[in-house]
Structure 1
Amino acid sequence: MSFFHFINCFALAFAPYFIVYKYSGINEYSSIWKCATASGGYLLTQLAKLLIIATFFPALDSEGFSIVPEFLKSSADIIDVIGLHLLMTNFLAGKGEVRFVVGGLGWGFAHSVAHRLVLLWVGARGTAFTWRWVQTSLDSSADLLVIVSLACLTWMITRTPNKFLVSPILAMCVFSTFVYQTVQHTFSLYGWSLLAFRFAYSIATAILTVVVYSANRTASTRKNE
């Protein structure tokens, strides 16, 4: 029974990536190896980020959540923007839409594998059933929305004159983990309530990204005319 629970949690965590790849149409423009390239870029970027965090943001002796140190640590996530930009510019080919969807999909898949696969293998196979691992698996879908939005905004930030519209939403993506932690400790949100907030935040970020991207496409079309 525990193994089937692991299979269910595994499907909840990773099936959305397969669905997006299969039915978004990017499989017609890009092979699975491009997503693997994006996953490799994620691993290299996280290695660089860990080195920077260990060097400039040493662990604090005080226990508990502190806003300023956590904010400074979250600022290291800007390295993800740099890594995504280098990845989509130099290692992924095709239209802009294909690049940021493939980059975001591969990046998000590697993120889920790194943060959830071992946890699910160890925890979801336990003898006692708990909703914790279902919630952990569903977190993956929320992260997928944020990461694809991050890739889209990273692609646009250097290609649009409306940077004042893109930058705030990009900051929402970069500091999403900090926002989750702050809300969790401030309002004591845990379990399903925290998961609901994560989904609400991710959906809001995705909607704002679509609006800004559509406005940018419309402005570009009018300019070309």
Structure 2
Amino acid sequence: MGLFHLANCLALATGPHLLVYKSTGIPDNDAFWPCFKIACVYALTQILKFFLITLAPHNYLSKGDSMTFDVFGIVLEIIVITMIVRGSLCRSEFNVVASSVGWSIASLVTTRYVPIWVGTRGLEFDWKYLCLSYEANLDLIDTFVMFYSVWLLSRRSGPTWSTLLGLLTVIAGPARSIFYAHMLM
């Protein structure tokens, strides 16, 4: 039963990412290496967040300070996404898709696979790992929205409404992850 539950959770978490990868034409345009580069940038961003958290004194942290660190981590990710989009990797809309797919697959592998693998090894079924698989799909959508919002903001020739929509999404988008993380606690 545990093996079936593991396969089910991994299929639910990985399936949409693979479908997006195949259906957007990334393999046809040899965009695997840009996806891999963005995945490495994601890993470096996470390492930088770990390093910055170790600099904080741990005996002074309270519940409110942990939310401050969550906001700081999200701001750091927005800065890195802005650097990626404004860099030479994301000059076209296809490159934005390839970058967001690479970022979301790296997020899936680093933050979802290990808890699913360790948690589903037990004999009992737990809904939390199934919810973790669905949350990986929501993160895929969030990543696309964040990359496209930053891309809309960085374009100078776009209409004003797209700039305002991009700014609103960049500001309100990370609120879901903060709200969801603090609701589960």
What's the TM-score once normalised by structure 1's chain length?
Answer: 0.70
Higher normalized contact order (CA 8 Å, seq sep 6+, divided by chain length):
2
Query: What residue identity is the alignment partner of 2:54?
Result: A
Which amino acid in 2 is paired with 1:72? T
Greater displacement, 126-135 / 84-93 = 84-93
Deviations 1:90-142 (A, max 9, x none): 352552x1122111111111111111111111111211122221111111101
Q: Name the structure 2 match of 1:101.
A: 97
Give the Å deviation of 1:20: 0.4
Contact 1:107/1:147 (8 A) holds in 2? yes
Runs ≥4 in structure 1, deviation > 4 angstroms?
Answer: 56-62
- Corresponding residue for residue 154 of structure 2: 158
Structure 2 matches for 1:131-170, cutoff 5 A?
131-160=127-156, 162=160, 163-170=163-170
Q: Partner of 2:125 in structure 1?
A: 129
Is residue 82 of structure 1 aligned with residue 40 of structure 2? no
TM-score normalised by the chain length of structure 2: 0.84
Alignment gaps of 5+ in structure 1: 189-225
Would the alpha carbon gap of residues 15 and 91 (structure 1) be closer, same or farther in structure 2, given more than 3 Å must change?
Answer: farther
CA RMSD of aligned residues (A): 2.4
CA contact (8 A) 1:150 1:173 kept: yes
Deviations 1:147-204 (A, max 9, x none): 111111122222246343322211122333212234x26xx9xxxxxxxxxxxxxxxx
User: Cα distance, 1:9 vs. partner?
Assistant: 0.9
* Identity rate, percent: 26
Q: 1:178 & 1:126 partners in 2: Cα distance?
A: 29
Question: How many angstroms does 1:88 deviate by?
Answer: 3.4
> Which amino acid in 2 is paired with 1:88?
V
Give ranges in structure 2 of 5+ residues lacking alignment.
none
Give yes or no for contact 2:31–2:98 (8 Å, CA) kept in 1: no
Q: Measure, in 1, the Cα distance between the counterparts of 2:11 and 2:165.
A: 36
Secondary structure of 1:112's counterpart equals: helix
Query: Would the aligned equivalents of 2:90 and 2:99 in 1 still touch at CA under 8 Å?
Result: no
Partner of 2:171: 171
